[in-house]
Amino acid sequence: MQAKTNLGEKIMRIYDDIQLDYCDILLRPKRSTLASRSEVQVLREYKFKWCSRPISATGIIAANMATTGTFEVAREMQKQHLLSALHKHYSAEELLSFLKKNAQEFGNNDLLFVSSGVSDADYEKLTQVMKSGLINNICVDVANGYSSYLINYVRKIRKDWPTALILAGNVVTGDMCEDLILNGADIIKVGIGPGSVCTTRKLTGVGRPQFSTVIECADAAHGVGGMICADGGCTVPGDICKSFCAGADFVMLGGMLAGHEESGGELVAKKLQTTELEGQDCTLKTEEKLYKKFYGMSSEYAQSKHYGGMKKYRASEGKVVEIPFRGPLEPTLLTILGGIRSCMTYIGAKRLKDMPKCATFYRVNRQLNTIFGNE
């Protein structure tokens, strides 16, 4: 619903429908005939509007951030039939050499995306990589998907590679999803501001709660034969489940995959002092703890690391955090997949694709019992 307020000659528009985030809802369990988690099928066969090559995967994509779109993360993701958008700071030579090796190990590069911005230099590098024939999937990523540069770029690369898989974003409204799909994109990346290291909402006041974004964008995209990828804002496996249930075909993860052995980012060792009290004795202990740096791609840190400094007309829209080191990625991925399987049995969805059809949501104002902390 749209409220209109007359301010003299100007019409102020306020959309007053409630906008929800993952933390505002829970899924309602349903009676089902699924006896065990092993009976559900998390692999989905994806067929696309423009791309002629179907893929078989569980639709989770490692974000094309310098810390999560790494070759090492991609390897672990593929072992679990998950996807990766390789970050755009690898050179064409590095990408080609990796893609050759990867195709020998996994049979093809169908679960990988090569990432691109919309500049001439991005286009040149993309052309060099695509010409090799080693990869068919492209992720076009700009912070503001409403810029006409994005739609023009999508049109241009669709013309160049008529059967490529094109993932493009980011936007948060159905109209823009439709436009991008009709102009050549297969999958639209949706989300402005929900990311774990994103400060866009703070800096600009722009954004939309992610759960409502997914519902509207999925409906619009599906209506014109496209798909969506919900990008950002997942903090626990349950959020990924909610996103699939809201209609996301793919879910992109940054923070949940960061801080692992395979993730990028500097490893930092910190000495922490703790006191231990035993009876009357108090001992001072020094412990070393490992942390990994994780940073937003529009942060000042990323701008200086990858672009040699921040341009004067820009402000940082991302932050840097240090995550306690989490060890290898595999257990985290297995926990995520376990969570999805379990969700599917709770709601009676035999196939990943059935999740939205089986989902009913409760609006809630409390998710967790935090008496023993938030973990």
Report, in Å, the least distance between residue 285 CB and ligand 5GP: 33
Burial of 279 (0-12, 13-18, 19+ CB in 10 A): exposed
The only residue of 179, 231, 249, 354 in contact with ligand 5GP, by rule CB under 6 A: 231
Q: Name the catalytic one among 23, 139, 198, 245.
A: 198
Stretch that binds ligand 5GP, among 14-22, 176-184, 250-258, 268-276 (CB under 6 A): 250-258
Q: Does residue number 232 form part of the binding site for ligand 5GP (CB under 6 A)?
A: yes
Q: Which of 110, 317, 322, 354 binds ligand 5GP (CB under 6 A)?
A: 317
Q: State yes or no: residue 249 binds ligand 5GP (CB under 6 A).
A: no
Per-residue x/- marks for ligand 5GP, 164-183, CB under 6 A? ------x-------------
Residue among 140 and 197 whose Cβ is closer to ligand 5GP = 197
- The angle that helices 71-79 and 330-347 make with each other, rounded to 10 degrees, is 40
Total Cβ atoms within 10 A of residue 45 = 12
Position of minimal CB gap to ligand 5GP: 318
238 binds ligand 5GP (CB under 6 A): no
Per-residue burial over 119-135, b = 16 or more CB atoms within 10 Å of its CB, e = otherwise = eeebbebbeebbeeebb
Taking the C-alpha atoms of residue 16 and residue 58, their distance in angstroms, rounded to an integer, is 35
Q: Does 332 bind ligand 5GP (CB under 6 A)?
A: no
Does 265 bind ligand 5GP (CB under 6 A)? Our answer is no
Decide: is 252 part of the binding site for ligand 5GP (CB under 6 A): yes
Options 151-159, 230-238, 261-269, 366-374: segment touching ligand 5GP (CB under 6 A): 230-238
| The two three-digit tokens of residue 363, written as one number | 């609006």
Q: Say whether residue 66 binds ligand 5GP (CB under 6 A).
A: no
First-to-last alpha carbon distance for the chain, in angstroms, is: 37
Stretch that binds ligand 5GP, among 119-127, 242-250, 265-273, 293-301 (CB under 6 A): 293-301
Question: Is the omega angle on the peptide bond into residue 170 within 30 degrees of 0, that is, cis?
Answer: yes
Site for ligand 5GP in 18-57 (CB under 6 A): none
Q: Tell me the HSE value of 225 on the side-chain side, using a 13 A CA sphere.
A: 10
Whichever of 299 and 332 has its CB closer to ligand 5GP, that residue is 299
Stretch that binds ligand 5GP, among 96-104, 158-166, 225-233, 237-245 (CB under 6 A): 225-233
Q: Which of 198, 218, 227, 336: binder of ligand 5GP (CB under 6 A)?
A: 198
Out of 196, 263, 303, 345, which residue is the one contacting ligand 5GP (CB under 6 A)? 196
- Is 229 catalytic? The answer is no
Q: Which of 226, 265, 318, 356 contacts ligand 5GP by CB under 6 A?
A: 318
Interaction mask 143-162, ligand 5GP, x per CB under 6 A: x-------------------
Smallest distance from ligand 5GP to CB 250, Å? 11
299 binds ligand 5GP (CB under 6 A): yes
Per CB under 6 A, 234 contacts ligand 5GP: yes
State the residues that interact with ligand 5GP by CB under 6 A.
63, 65, 143, 170, 191, 195-198, 200, 231-234, 252-256, 296-299, 317-318
Catalytic residue numbers?
Answer: 198
